[in-house]
């Protein structure tokens, strides 16, 4: 298993549309890359060779998309074993998944929120424990953006904290998701981040979102990071210290230099916090 990502590190999402540019990127342009193993397991040929070239040069983290940690269907153990092989082969430093579900009698192709209940805590924590056992490593779970909550017997903060404690796993704190949810559901984003258990935060994400209205933001990963999210990232560093931080961009890709400017913005904020 690879060494942990550097606390003072700024990474970039590894997307197929960026493969060639990432391979040709200047040395030191980013500190690590992150990919979704779901999109790469079993991929060979030229694409597989390019992924191997990048993972041999740069620390690599992985962010899963399809485990459906909170879902009702049995965990796909065959896929989990393939994921473990992928993580081991590429010396993955950190593996994370979403605190959500994406399948129920079939794949739903969306990350749907869980009810904030004690029953859901026990259900998802038990499944996270199974995943950690099969993968042979601790994982991190990501707080997700959501637009309607199915049921909230617990507050979102209490729900996340209870899952982390019962599953004994780590947290990938997505700062943009906190901002989007805070606007959409009317809570204080900074207070939310302050309440997160800092000792469990393994990594951070930042991304762009779409401004549908003053009181409605949509998490898209398709635009530049907004000023309010940069400010919230700086607050997260002040509240919990430095963590490896990834810039997510999934489509509408600008020139790589523009993305690297945002990676440098992460580094600048880390330097100020340090």
Which domains does the chain show, CATH number per domain? 10-273 (3.20.20.150)
Mapped onto helix, strand or coil, the DSSP state of residue 155 is coil
pLDDT tens digits, 80-103: 999 999 999 999 999 999 999 886
Residues 6+ apart with CB under 8 A from 97: 63, 64, 65, 67, 69, 131, 139, 140, 141, 142
State the pLDDT at residue 34: 97
Whether pLDDT at 1 is above 60: no
State the pLDDT at residue 110: 73
pLDDT tens digits, 10-39: 999 999 999 999 999 998 999 999 999 999
Whether pLDDT at 147 is above 80: yes
The residue among 176 and 104 whose pLDDT is bigger is 176
State the pLDDT at residue 82: 97
Structure-token pair, residue 250: 């999934």
State the pLDDT at residue 24: 95
Whether pLDDT at 66 is above 60: yes
Helices (H), ranges, the chain: 19-23, 45-57, 77-89, 118-135, 156-167, 175-185, 189-195, 227-240, 256-273
pTM over 0.85: yes
């Amino acid at each position: 298993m690879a060494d942990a990502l550097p606390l003072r590190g700024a990474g970039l999402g590894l997307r197929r549309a960026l493969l060639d540019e990432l391979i040709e990127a200047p040395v030191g342009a980013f500190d690590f890359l992150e990919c979704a193993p779901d999109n790469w397991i079993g991929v060979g040929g030229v694409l597989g060779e390019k992924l191997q070239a990048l993972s041999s040069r740069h620390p690599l983290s992985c962010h899963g998309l399809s485990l459906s940690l909170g879902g009702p269907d049995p965990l796909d153990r065959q896929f989990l074993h393939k994921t473990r092989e992928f993580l081991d082969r590429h010396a993955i430093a950190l593996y994370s998944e979403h605190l959500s579900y994406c399948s129920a009698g079939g794949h739903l192709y969306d990350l749907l929120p869980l009810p904030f209940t004690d029953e859901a805590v026990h259900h998802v924590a038990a499944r996270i424990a199974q995943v950690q056992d099969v993968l042979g490593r601790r994982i991190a779970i990501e707080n997700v953006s959501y637009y309607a909550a199915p049921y909230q017997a617990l507050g979102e903060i209490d729900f996340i904290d209870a899952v982390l404690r019962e599953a004994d796993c780590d947290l990938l704190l997505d700062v943009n998701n906190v901002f989007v949810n805070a606007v959409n559901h009317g809570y204080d984003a900074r207070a939310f981040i302050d309440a997160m258990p800092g000792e469990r935060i393994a990594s951070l994400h930042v991304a762009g979102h779409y401004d549908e209205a003053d009181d409605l933001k949509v998490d898209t990963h398709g635009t530049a990071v907004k000023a309010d999210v940069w400010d919230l990232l700086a607050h997260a560093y002040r509240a919990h210290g430095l963590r490896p931080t990834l810039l997510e961009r999934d489509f509408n890709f600008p020139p790589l230099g523009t993305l690297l400017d945002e990676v440098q913005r992460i580094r600048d904020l880390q330097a100020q916090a340090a």
